[in-house]
Amino acid sequence: MDVDLLVIGWGKAGKTLAGRYAAAGHSVALVERSPKMYGGTCINIACVPTKDLVVSAEQRRESDDPAEYFAQSVAGRDALISKLNAANHKMLEKPNVTLIDGTARFVRPHEVSIDTADGEVNVTASKIIVGTGATPARLPIPGADGDRIYDSTTVQHVEPFPKRLVVIGGGFVGLEFANMFAHFGSEVTVLDGGDTFLPAVDRDVAEAVLDALKAEGIRVESGVKVEEFSETADAVVARSSAGEFEADAVLVAAGRAPATKELGLDAASINTNERGFIEVDDQLQTSVEGVYAVGDVNGGPQFTYISLDDNRIVWDAIVGDGTRRRSDRVAVPNSTFITPPLSMVGMNEKQVRESGRKVLVASKPVEKIAAMPRPKIVGDTRGLFKIFVDDDTEEILGATVFSIDSQELINFVSLAMRLGAKVSDLRDGIWTHPSSTEGFNEVLGELEPLT
């Protein structure tokens, strides 16, 4: 088979490019090795299903049995994902698109062999998109393959429900799951290998997050490096220099590795970096002309909205005027869905101090923002707003919002930064009431020099 565009992996960038290119009249083949992954990582095992579980966990009442409630929540999650999976497949059931279930392997730079249930299929294409994503990293220690050891995918169907859960990793993924399972009713302990809790976050913010986690009954131990797992008849033990931690299940949330092992990249002379991620240029082209790597597999920020923007860059490279670049991205926000959510964009305090700028800062606990009654109405006044501004230009340099609705508020700040808005545009804006957005009116009216 020869096509104009071959897409390997049904992720956000790949599926979007496949649909757009086919609609423009070109022949497209899309390869996915698992029917469970139609639509990509985000809708099947990551963003959507985990946030569905987060919301379910937050709605659990004290009277709800944890195990029964978790089982019901997982069933709801599965029903939702099944619909999304099928809908994503249907989106690409269209003229000019050939959908192939199988595992792809490069045999030459522009030729791929696909192992399918009906035998081997060879596909050649002038343009190839690699979007195979990343998978949870495993700990290289004894016992890591035990039956009670889970990763961020498998723990979503953990059985039986763990009354005690140990989470290995104090990063954002680990904290989301720790918070979720605490709400489901587990006794949760987080073992963070680093000496500093959330090192990329300002210390006052990190302390506020830690306080919120402790209020949920979550125990966080920093500087704990697990050396071995062992299992008893009804428990698993994580052994470390700091002692032993016993639980019913362990979640390993220690980063992600690129899904490139079966791709045969050497046969195509496609270069990877020291961590195994595919190396790309500023337009996401690999070391082979006409072959692009998009999404998590290229080692960039692992967010589905980055994958969507990868689609825009590649589309511009192959169809447009070729001016769009990965380095054009500014003010890219992120949110961690603990309770309340933690969201950030731009510089943190360490970075603004090192920037050499004259900086103003506004920082205020949510519970003290008088002009923002929504948290009081909802019943969660934890968290804080913290925003940095260039004193000379009124440019917004960065923000952290740890509050209800922060996943929406941070997009607002991000847009203001990308448009070059002044801090006064946010401070003096007219916002609906009662809303979380109006917190900017009060907080930004209290800017003071960063000392």
The catalytic site residues sit at 433
> What region does 112 belong to: left with phi over 0, alpha with psi -120 to 50, or beta?
beta
Indicate the helix (H) or strand (E) that contains 192: strand 187-192
Taking the CA atoms of the chain, what radius of gyration do you get in angstroms? 23
How far is Cα 295 from Cα 302, in angstroms, rounded to an integer? 7
Quick check: helix, strand or coil at residue 368?
A: helix
Cβ atoms within 10 Å of 278's Cβ, excluding its own: 24
Quick check: helix, strand or coil at residue 350?
A: helix
Q: Which residue shows structure tokens 């269209």?
A: 94
How far is Cα 390 from Cα 372, in angstroms, rounded to an integer? 25
- 258 by Cβ neighbours in 10 Å (0-12 / 13-18 / 19+) ranks as buried
Whose CA is closest to 162, among 142, 143, 177? Answer: 177
111-116 and 103-108 beta bridge pairing: antiparallel
Helix and strand numbers (H, E) in the chain are 12, 23
Please give the structure tokens belonging to residue 108.
């030459």
How far is Cα 19 from Cα 27, in angstroms, rounded to an integer? 10
How far is Cα 187 from Cα 219, in angstroms, rounded to an integer? 9
Quick check: helix, strand or coil at residue 108?
A: strand
Whose CA is closest to 345, among 394, 441, 256, 409? Answer: 409
State residue 319 phi and psi, 5-degree precision: -125, -35
How far is Cα 33 from Cα 195, in angstroms, rounded to an integer? 40
